[in-house]
Amino acid sequence: MRLLYINTHGFTGGHHITYSHAIVSEAIRRGWIVDFAVTDEALRHGGIRGTVEMACQSGGTVIEIKAISTLLPGRLGLLEGQIKRWALVHKAWVKARKIVRSDAIYVVDCDGWMGLAAVIGLPASGPPLISLSNQARVHRPAGSRVLSPTRLGYQLRLSILERFLTRTHPAKVFCLEESLPRTMLLRTGGGSNRLAHLEELGQGPDLLDKSQARKALDLNPNCQYICCFGGEVRKGVLALLRALTADIWPEKFGVILLGDPDSTVESELLEPACKTLMAGNRLKVFRGYYDAAKQSLVLSASDAVWLGYQRFYASSAVLCEAAQAGVPVLGTPLGWIGDRVPKSGIGLVVEPQDVAAVVRCLRLLMEPGAEREKFVSNCYVEGRKHTQTLFGATVCDAIIETTRTNSAPLAGTI
C-alpha cells in the first residue's frame, strides 16, 4: 500500500499535527509507504517535521507545497480560501503523481475546500480520496437538554457537506460528531454512506504522581484544583475567575490557568481579589507556550478540568486527554462537549455564568467520595476510546476498504 498524505495547513499548531502523527504511525506500522505533501510553513514545526521524517523512513517522498494566505475580507475571504485550498490540494496531487503511484490519498481535512469541490469536483482523481470534516455539525434531537447552534453558518456547512458527499463522491469522509452520519443518511434518503464517525484524538498524557506534580508546580497542598488550558475569554476563563472570587466559592478550591491570558482576562487578573488568590496559591497562572509535557504535569496535579467554553460546539482534545488522565470535567452544555460529558459520565455540564451551579458541580467532581470515584472510573473507560492507536487504525482500515470497493471520479478543474 502506498499512501499519499496531504497536509495543507500552514499554521504550526492545531489538531492536524496529532492527527497526522497518528495516521502516519499506523500506516508505517502496517508496512505501508507514505508520501507526505506538506506546506513549507508547517514543515518548520517540530511535530510535523518528526512525522515527515517517519514517512521518509518508510521509503516515502516529501512533496513540499507553499502555504496559502487569504487577502480579502469577510465572505470574500472565505471564498478566496476555498479556491486557494482546493488548488493547493490539486497541486500536491499533480506534483505527487509525477513521481509516485499512490494507492490512496488522505487529505488532513476537507472543510477548507469542500464548498468549492461540491460545485466543481474533487481536487484529485485516480486513487480513492479520504478526508475529515471538523466543522459540519447537526442540531440535537428534539427534547435533548443539550443546547445546539442555530446560526445559519452551521446549516450551510451541513448543506455543503451533503452536496459534497452526494455529488462529488469522495471515497470516505470522517466526522467527529457521532450523530452526524445518521443525520446525513436521513437527509439523503440513505443515499450517502460515505460519511463515518471517528473518535476525537487525545495525546495520552504522561502522568506523574499527584503529590510530585503539585510540588513541581508549587501548588497549595490543602487545595483541590480545577485547571483550564488556555487563557482566552472564549475558554470561559472570565466566568471561572468570577466564580473563584465569589463569596460562596469554597476556600479549599483553587484554579490553574495554563497559557497566555488575552487582554480581557489579563485585566481581570490585575483585580485585587485575583491578586490575593494568587498570593495564596489558590490561583496559579502559568504563562507562555505549553507543550505536552507541561499539560501532562498540570493534569497530574489537577482534580478537575474546566471546559466551560463560550459558544463552542466542536470536539475537544482536552476532554479526551482529561479522560485519559482520570480527571473529571466540568463543561459547557453546548455542542459536542455538552453531549459527550453526560453521555460518558466523565463529569458534569453547567451554565458557566451560574456561580452557584458551578460550585455545586465542583463539590461533586473534586471532593473525595463515591460520586467523584464514579466520574474517575468513567474517565478511564472513555479515555480508551481516544487513543492514537485507535484513531490511526480506524482511518487505515477505511483506506484499505476504499481501495477495494471504490472507483474514484475525475477531478474538477479551475
pLDDT tens profile 67-108: 999 899 988 999 999 999 999 999 999 999 999 999 999 999
**141 pLDDT tier (thresholds 50, 70, 90):** very low
Q: Do 174 and 220 belong to one domain?
A: no
Residue 410 lies in a domain: no
Q: Do 193 and 221 belong to one domain?
A: no
* Under 8 Å between Cβ of 106 and 4: yes
- On whether the pTM is more than 0.95, the answer is no
Q: 218: domain range?
A: 210-385
**401 pLDDT tier (thresholds 50, 70, 90):** very high
Q: Do 239 and 317 belong to one domain?
A: yes
**136 pLDDT tier (thresholds 50, 70, 90):** confident
* Under 8 Å between Cβ of 315 and 177: yes
Q: Do 362 and 253 belong to one domain?
A: yes
Residue 414 lies in a domain: no
Residue 71 lies in a domain: yes
pLDDT for the residue 183: 87
Q: Do 157 and 250 belong to one domain?
A: no
Which positions ≥6 away from 82 have C-beta within 8 Å? 112, 113, 114, 115, 116
Residue 342 has pLDDT above 90, yes or no: yes
Residue 168 lies in a domain: yes
**Rounded CA gap, 349 and 359, in Å?**
12
User: Roughly what angle, to the nearest 10 degrees, separates helices 272-279 and 237-244?
Assistant: 70
Tell me the percentage of the chain whose pLDDT exceeds 70.
93
Q: Do 136 and 32 belong to one domain?
A: yes
Which carries the bigger pLDDT value, residue 151 or residue 364? 364
**Rounded CA gap, 221 and 171, in Å?**
54
The pLDDT of 152-156, averaged and rounded, is 72
Residue 290 lies in a domain: yes
Residue 142 lies in a domain: yes
pLDDT for the residue 142: 38
Work out the mean pLDDT of the chain and round it to a whole number. 91
Residue 324 lies in a domain: yes
Q: Do 179 and 253 belong to one domain?
A: no
Which carries the bigger pLDDT value, residue 141 or residue 281? 281
Q: Do 266 and 348 belong to one domain?
A: yes
**Rounded CA gap, 125 and 412, in Å?**
8
Q: Do 27 and 172 belong to one domain?
A: yes
Residue 158 has pLDDT above 60, yes or no: yes
Residue 120 has pLDDT above 90, yes or no: yes
Q: What is the CATH number of the domain that holds 364?
A: 3.40.50.2000
**Rounded CA gap, 302 and 322, in Å?**
10
Number of separate domains in the chain: 2
Q: Do 120 and 90 belong to one domain?
A: yes
Which positions ≥6 away from 363 have C-beta within 8 Å? 250
Residue 182 lies in a domain: yes
Strand 104-107 and strand 2-7: pairing? parallel
Cell of 388: 492514537
Which carries the bigger pLDDT value, residue 311 or residue 305? 305
pLDDT tens profile 241-265: 999 999 999 999 999 999 999 999 9
Q: Do 301 and 187 belong to one domain?
A: no
pLDDT for the residue 143: 40
Q: Do 192 and 218 belong to one domain?
A: no
pLDDT for the residue 135: 83
- Buried (b) or exposed (e) across 70-106, using 16+ Cβ within 10 A? eeeeeeeeeebbbbbbbbbbbbbbeebbeeeebbbbb
**414 pLDDT tier (thresholds 50, 70, 90):** low
